[in-house]
Amino acid sequence: MRIALVQQQPTDDRAASVARGLQALDAAADAGARLVVFPELAFTPFYPQRRAGPGVLDLAEPIPGPTTERFCEAAARRGVVVVLNLYERDGDRAFDTSPVIDADGTLLGRTRMVHITDYDGFHEKGYYSPGDTGAPVYDTAAGRLGVAICYDRHYPEYLRALALGGADLVVVPQAGTVGEWPEGLYEAELRVASFQNGFFMALANRVGREDRLHFAGASFVTDPDGCVVARAPEGREAILYADLDLGRCATSHARRLFLRDRRPALYGPWLSR
């Protein structure tokens, strides 16, 4: 199965950014992709780079809503699964949310980012409520998918929950900047997680300079053996393609050994502290 990670820089013009995203979806479908994944806040500026002010909820949009409707139509027209990431408004709360759309255009559900951080350039607690959707795994035309939105990928408990839910592929919409962490650390983190949980991981990163931040690009894909199997360029727009055999998950070390030999009754109480 071919997947596509869309590494595009959005602008202040949401309509134009959505239009470019739809063009990228068509290009990916033309190239044979069955799944198309977009980065964090794919069609808007990265709002949390500055502290939240009055009216911040007005920046968010409903799901379902205008953006998801357009991508549902495109998914059905091209027969591809789509994972987006949007700033979602739900009443008087807002979330960092990834809608998951099946290849027939059905909105299967939404994953909301569970863990919310706050530090210089990433003032997310003023924008997002903690996610309340858990760690869902979606049965799609492109296989069993889980979503770990940006900061959630740092939590092995969350990734293990996706593995126990049967995910063969975990997609990671991210907003990672140039030099944010020591070289190679993000990659090592996902390689280890893939190996320990027996699934593929596909990280779709933002790219380009914005108000205060410089997003790195360099999206990549890891396999159940913990190897990087595809990598996008740093610092420029691209669509990264990777051909995955999801059947490899069943024969991975994690599925044959690690998950089998867990002892949750022993260490479960520690995880709840």
Tally of domains in the chain? 1
pLDDT band, residue 266 (cuts 50/70/90): confident
Model pLDDT for residues 131-142, shown as the tens digit of each residue:
999 999 999 999
Cα angle, residue 24 at apex, residues 34 and 208 outer, rounded to 5°: 120
The CA distance from 136 to 172, in Å, is 14
Q: CATH number of the domain that 233 lies in?
A: 3.60.110.10
**Structural domain harbouring 255:** 2-271
pLDDT digits (tens, 9 = 90+) for 217-253: 999 999 999 999 999 999 999 999 999 999 999 999 9
The answer on pLDDT for 62 being more than 70 is yes
Q: Which two tokens stand for residue 234?
A: 């740093």
pLDDT tens-place string over residues 150-174: 999 999 999 999 999 999 999 999 9
pLDDT of the residue at 73 = 98
What is the pLDDT at residue 139? 98
pTM here is: 0.96
Specify the DSSP element, H or E, that contains 7: strand 2-7
